[in-house]
């Protein structure tokens, strides 16, 4: 099934079930008012939401309405936990190679992961408000999963069973704030502001055989200002699968229902497929010619992130955002 | 007023108003079922909760009940944002001095702050489950504030008006996991598991003239296994006040209502007042004799953290926790 949230209804929006073709939806307040409420009671809510989804896909819901992406909030307008991995090591390798550094051998065994802000996610068509272009505005196209309650110190095998939803994220990054922030030693804060999830999140069964061993085997496509930017394969070069990332996140703490775990920027060894963020294209330019050619994003620039199934149909809907000066 | 949450009532517990003497409480479901609900509608909820508080303190609530600390959940059993500063530079200086490093001059102008997990807070009398004593189990006694909605890029002056509640936290730290984690460059994840807030959070007016310019001017007392461990002055050596910390947190993102901002471990230049964490005592031992004498916490060890007003009465109730082996 495919789940989303309308903006209307309060800080957590209103949970809806969306049809497979992303054209229609129904509200499901009789099951749960918000996606977080559904996650909080997932063993009971999921079968009931699935039944609605099946009826909707069969055209048997008389009260369905036309889906308008601009009326959508983030599926989770706010969440309790967002941790983001960096599972595609070609991304890490390029970033380090550009500054002449090696990738430590341990990075192939021990996932990189940071604690991100989960207090607010931008709607999938909301502008990205930024105070200054000097911050070095970038997007990062990633895959995310959402868990139910995960016990502390769970194994990767067990963690796989806790993955209930899959989606995309534009992990907004302020590149010029990253070096001074990481130099302080405490990780990202200012450099990772609010991000945007895809319009809908889907249960793994919607992905068919593209979801294997908790890896999503499809290209993730990005367009910058309407031009194709990259379409690297999310199923290639993912050093740690989502079960491993969830287990890593839960090593010393339980994860609460509705926790969001990100893959990190999708990147392949094969450079011909393009990148999923500007930083990486700039790194390749630095490696090739000594300096970056592509600028970071300016006010008014747009980013579109989407994943299509093997028939060319959009799975999660497209994230489409414009960078906007923050008015204060 | 003083606010807390009962464990009963679901994942977010049940909001209660506690009397000034911390002996009685009343439920306030007619105003809000949970503290997060109250924060979400603070301009309306606060005056109504205050009215209940005044009646309770005057003995005019017929339905008040006896407060049992063990029935309390964390005031926020889960929250959307927890960012923790490191505003007491004597703590930072000692940690660095022990390894022969200087404190960068910028640390006196630019707060250290990390994104912490907010997905679950332990109850104030709950044990702290840890999988291994080898992790180097430590407590950190700190002051926290809770904000209402804070706009992005707010000034410190404006931020002061968004501080609605004050409390304490035991920021549980797994010291032996910190060096390898920080060496990876992405900040804390495994080394900062779930923490515990104080039994109650209070509005700043409850602090009287001990709350000045968003600094809390009272000693914060810790006892380890029943022995006095430290009582440094929270009003001394705080390089950045809470208004500055909140503004720092909000530089590139808004803070949502119910965001928790921590002070970092309380520490004074005056070493005679003791410390607020084991790491710091061990650092002083290393500086004095070349090696630490005090071990980190073992299973069964207990920590008590409390702040008393000028008359010797407990303001927030005591955090009292025992380290417990995680059963899995």
Among the listed residues B300, B317, B321, B301, the one whose alpha carbon sits nearest the alpha carbon of residue B126: B321
Asked if A84 and A98 touch (Cβ cutoff 8 Å), the reply is no
Give the Å distances, CA to CA, from B55 to B24, B43, B49, B60, B63.
12, 20, 10, 5, 11
Among the listed residues A165, A180, A169, A325, the one whose alpha carbon sits nearest the alpha carbon of residue A259: A165
Backbone angles phi, psi at B207, to 5 degrees: -90, -10
Of A40, A117, A253, Cβ closest to residue B194: A253
| Strand-strand pairing, A141-147 and A259-262 | antiparallel
Interchain CB contact of A186 with B (< 8 Å): yes
The C-alpha atoms of residue B18 and residue B67 are separated, in whole angstroms, by: 8
Per-residue model confidence as pLDDT tens digits over B163-215: 999 999 999 999 999 999 988 989 999 999 999 999 999 999 999 999 999 99
Q: How far is CA B232 from the centre of its chain?
A: 15
Asked if A306 and A221 touch (Cβ cutoff 8 Å), the reply is yes
The C-alpha atoms of residue A151 and residue A157 are separated, in whole angstroms, by: 13
Of A86, A110, A252, Cβ closest to residue B131: A252
Residues of A in contact with B249 (CB under 8 A): 189
Interchain CB contact of B81 with A (< 8 Å): yes
Closest chain A residue by Cα to residue B130? A252
Backbone angles phi, psi at B201, to 5 degrees: -110, 150
Cα radius of gyration (chain B) = 19
Per-residue model confidence as pLDDT tens digits over A219-242: 999 999 999 999 999 999 999 999
Q: How far is CA A234 from the centre of its chain?
A: 12
Interchain CB contact of B120 with A (< 8 Å): yes
Question: pLDDT of chain A along its 328 residues, tens only?
Answer: 999 999 999 999 999 999 999 999 999 999 999 999 999 999 999 999 999 999 999 999 989 999 999 999 999 999 999 999 999 999 888 877 777 778 888 999 999 999 999 999 999 999 999 999 999 999 999 999 999 999 999 999 999 999 999 999 999 999 999 999 988 989 999 999 999 999 999 999 999 999 999 999 999 999 999 999 999 999 999 999 999 999 999 999 999 999 999 999 999 999 999 999 999 999 989 888 999 999 999 999 999 999 999 999 999 999 999 999 998 7
| Strand-strand pairing, A319-325 and A302-306 | antiparallel
DSSP-assigned letter for residue B177: G
The C-alpha atoms of residue B187 and residue A221 are separated, in whole angstroms, by: 30
Of B11, B115, B259, Cβ closest to residue A187: B115
Residues of B in contact with A251 (CB under 8 A): 190
Among the listed residues A64, A226, A81, the one whose alpha carbon sits nearest the alpha carbon of residue B81: A81
Per-residue model confidence as pLDDT tens digits over B287-316: 889 999 999 999 999 999 999 999 999 999
Closest chain B residue by Cα to residue A258? B119
Contact A252 B115 (CB under 8 A): no
Interchain CB contact of A327 with B (< 8 Å): no
């Amino acid at each position: 099934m495919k789940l989303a949230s309308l903006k209307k209804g309060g800080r957590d929006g209103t949970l809806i079930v969306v049809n497979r073709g992303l054209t229609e939806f129904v509200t499901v307040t009789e099951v749960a008012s918000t996606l977080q409420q559904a996650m909080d009671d997932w063993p009971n809510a999921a079968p009931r939401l699935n039944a609605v989804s099946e009826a909707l896909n069969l055209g048997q819901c008389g009260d369905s309405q036309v889906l308008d992406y601009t009326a959508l909030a983030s599926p989770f307008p706010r969440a309790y936990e967002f941790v983001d991995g960096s599972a595609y090591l070609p991304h890490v390798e390029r970033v380090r190679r550009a500054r002449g550094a090696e990738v430590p051998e341990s990075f192939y065994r021990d996932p990189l992961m940071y604690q991100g802000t989960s207090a607010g996610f931008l709607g999938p068509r909301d502008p990205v408000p930024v105070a200054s272009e000097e911050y070095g505005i970038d997007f990062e196209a990633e895959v995310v999963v959402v868990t139910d309650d995960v016990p502390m110190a769970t194994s990767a095998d067990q963690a796989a069973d806790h993955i209930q939803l899959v989606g995309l994220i534009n992990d907004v990054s302020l590149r010029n704030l990253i070096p001074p922030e990481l130099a302080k030693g405490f990780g990202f804060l200012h450099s990772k502001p609010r991000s945007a999830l895809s319009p809908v999140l889907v249960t793994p069964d919607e992905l068919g055989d593209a979801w294997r061993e908790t890896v999503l085997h499809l290209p993730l496509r990005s367009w910058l200002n309407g031009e194709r930017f990259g379409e690297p394969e999310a199923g290639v070069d993912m050093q740690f699968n989502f079960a491993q990332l969830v287990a890593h996140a839960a090593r010393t703490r339980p994860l609460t229902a509705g926790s969001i775990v990100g893959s990190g920027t999708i990147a392949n060894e094969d450079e011909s497929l393009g990148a999923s963020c500007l930083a990486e294209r700039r790194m390749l330019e630095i490696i090739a010619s000594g300096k970056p050619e592509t600028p970071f994003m300016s006010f008014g620039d747009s980013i579109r992130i989407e994943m299509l199934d093997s028939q060319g149909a959009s799975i999660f809907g497209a994230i489409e955002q414009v960078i906007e000066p923050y008015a204060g």
